[in-house]
Amino acid sequence: MPSPLQAILISGTSHVGKSTLAEKLAGRLGWNGLSTDGLGRHPGRPWLAVPPPVAEFYERLSAETIHWFLKVHHENMWRQIRPMIEAERSARRPFVLEGAALRPEYVAPLLTGEMFGVLLSADDAFLVARMRSAAGYERRDTGERRLIDAFVERSLRENAALQASAREVGLGIVDAADARAVADLFDELVARASA
């Protein structure tokens, strides 16, 4: 009989639902809920209070450069994330960890019967709608919309890259736009963790 799960790693681009699923799982299982969000500095969402360097990042750099920079940022973050995972495992503390920096090519080699990894993904229309809603896109002026559009483009490129990587390394992909698929994943993980 396989060992019960002790760790769940959830990858995906911005606004795909990683945090929501991770919080729900951690709460239900009584596990430590962790995120990669606070580990590194990278220009994030260009809405609400947008510091000048963040605005400049999205205004001046090409979509290709922004996407390249994000991947390099994730590579650099992995130097912090891998020891964090190892520390939790060594301490035998069950945990759920979510973040875009959990790229499939980094996660897949770690998976065992006790550690599960998944990529949450969705089609472009779903992601655009969620990001525009969160940003209050319809109420924004042209300049603000331009920044938001650059962030959306970055996220769509990242979503496609993460999907390709997950397929290449054999990491499972769940469609975040399919509420039933996400609910089934939740139920499966709770059952495996409770076995």
Residue 62, pLDDT above cutoff 70 = yes
Tell me, what's the pLDDT at 140? 95
pLDDT in tens, 139-155: 999 999 999 999 999 99
> How many C-beta atoms surround the C-beta of residue 107 within 10 A?
25
Are 35 and 84 spatial neighbours (Cβ–Cβ below 8 Å)?
Answer: no
Backbone angles phi, psi at 56, to 5 degrees: -65, -40
d(CA 17, CA 118): 12
Q: Which of 184, 55, 153, 169 is nearest to 104 (CA)?
A: 169
pTM: 0.94
Token pair recorded at residue 170: 């054999």
- Tell me which of 160 and 4 has the higher pLDDT: 160
Tell me, what's the pLDDT at 2? 60
Q: What angle do CA 27, 182, 167 make, to 5 degrees?
A: 115
d(CA 34, CA 60): 33
Residue 185, pLDDT above cutoff 80 = yes
DSSP state letters, 75-113: HHHHHHHHHHHHHHHHTT--EEEE-TTS-HHHHGGG--S
Give the 3-state secondary structure of residue 156: helix
pLDDT in tens, 83-119: 999 999 999 999 999 999 999 999 999 999 999 999 9
Residue 181, pLDDT above cutoff 80 = yes
Going from the N-terminus, what domains does the chain have, and what CATH number goes with each?
7-194 (3.40.50.300)
Residue 49, pLDDT above cutoff 90 = no
Give the 3-state secondary structure of residue 45: coil
Distance (Å) of CA 81 to CA 34, 114, 119, 144, 183: 11, 18, 17, 33, 27
Residue-averaged pLDDT of the chain:
94
- Percentage, residues of the chain above pLDDT 70: 97
Q: Which of 36, 186, 42 is nearest to 118 (CA)?
A: 186
